[in-house]
Amino acid sequence: MNRNRLSSVDQADESLLKCLQRFQTLAQANTSKSNENGSKVTKLVTGRQKMYVLQSVRDGGNFWRTRQMSTNSKIEWTDTTWNPVRGCTKISAGCKHCYAETFAERFRGVPGNPFEYGFDLRLVPHKLPEPFQWTKPQMVFVNSMSDLFHEDVPDDYIVQVTQVMTTANWHIYQVLTKRADRLRDLLQTKLRFAANLEHIWWGTSVENKKSGVPRIKQLRDAKAKMNFLSIEPLLEDLGKLNLKGMQWVIVGGESGNGARPMQGEWVTSIREQCIYQNVPFFFKQWGGVRKARYGRELDGRTYDEYPTVNRQPIPPLAVRRDLEARLMLPRDSRSTVAAIA
């Protein structure tokens, strides 16, 4: 599976054409240019959504290709983010330059801003229904601005978040934590109902040997169906890794001010181990103070591998509303709640 997958249709596919026309109508920005093949590439933007349309003419007929890019996340391995929790506290070396903290603290004290409380841990219950409201299936990074398994997030709240993921099963959820011990404990008990689902991917961060590598075993011991490692920021050579039970590995260097350098051999060692142990490998970035400068090619190519899973079709709006209503999630409150267990 690749989120940059291309779907192509001939002029017979009216539904896609209608969809494109509707998107064009809604678009607030619409820029076109020709690519090297002479095809016209149009970038349409509506709010936070972007769609790239590649249009060419074949045999006098219309031939459309759409390329659906990341909808609201710049993170290379996901489509969007969902944050029913905000804020966190640092736990290990990988947290040193936490981007979420830097971002959140900019808005501390700004009334009405989602990060009015900076990086203090807050539950955000009004975000719980969001996956039912999105109009297309997405890969969703759960809690990009927090850690769902933080010790101050109550068990019951984690269960509620997981019930949403279990019910809205047309999305793929990527749940990433540095608290793999708590993830393991809950997946064996209160979250057991979600452990064997293919559309919920449970992941842990691995930045070094001391704190990161032990999390791999904790994740494996959770005995979930889909497990992944985010080896970012990679801070040292991790040596030999046991990837048994892992379905996906992401590797990346640190970016931004003060970024700690990552050596190529550390990355290629992990790539080779993924190949040997048959685990899809995704190389996110080299990182650095100016990450765009170094890009994301490794030995002359990009690595954008994902696990292959079966996707559920998205149900009609009425069905989604009904499913959401049955969970009795909060809809009206815009307030956040201090997360003290």
What is the contact surface with ligand SF4 in residues (CB under 6 A)? Answer: 88, 90-91, 94-95, 98, 100-101, 146-147, 178
Select 66 or 73, whichever has its Cβ closest to ligand SF4.
73
Select 104 or 274, whichever has its Cβ closest to ligand SF4.
104
Taking the complex as a whole, the smallest distance from the CB of residue 149 to ligand SF4 amounts, in Å, to 9
Instruction: Give the contacts of 317 (CB within 8 A, at least 6 positions apart).
Output: none
Select 13 or 185, whichever has its Cβ closest to ligand SF4.
185
Taking the complex as a whole, the smallest distance from the CB of residue 131 to ligand SF4 amounts, in Å, to 21
Select 146 or 247, whichever has its Cβ closest to ligand SF4.
146
Whether residue 330 has a cis bond before it, omega within 30° of 0: no
Q: Does residue 296 contact residue 77 with C-beta atoms inside 8 Å? A: no
> Whole-angstrom Cα distance, residue 270 to residue 255?
19
Taking the complex as a whole, the smallest distance from the CB of residue 101 to ligand SF4 amounts, in Å, to 6
Residue 72, number of CB atoms within 10 A of its CB? 14
Taking the complex as a whole, the smallest distance from the CB of residue 253 to ligand SF4 amounts, in Å, to 15
Instruction: Give the contacts of 129 (CB within 8 A, at least 6 positions apart).
Output: 164, 324, 329, 330, 331
Taking the complex as a whole, the smallest distance from the CB of residue 183 to ligand SF4 amounts, in Å, to 12
Handedness of CA 324, 327, 328, 334 (dihedral sign): negative
> Whole-angstrom Cα distance, residue 141 to residue 85?
12
Select 153 or 270, whichever has its Cβ closest to ligand SF4.
153
Select 88 or 172, whichever has its Cβ closest to ligand SF4.
88
Which of 337, 332, 180 shows the shortest CA–CA distance to 245?
A: 180
Taking the complex as a whole, the smallest distance from the CB of residue 104 to ligand SF4 amounts, in Å, to 9
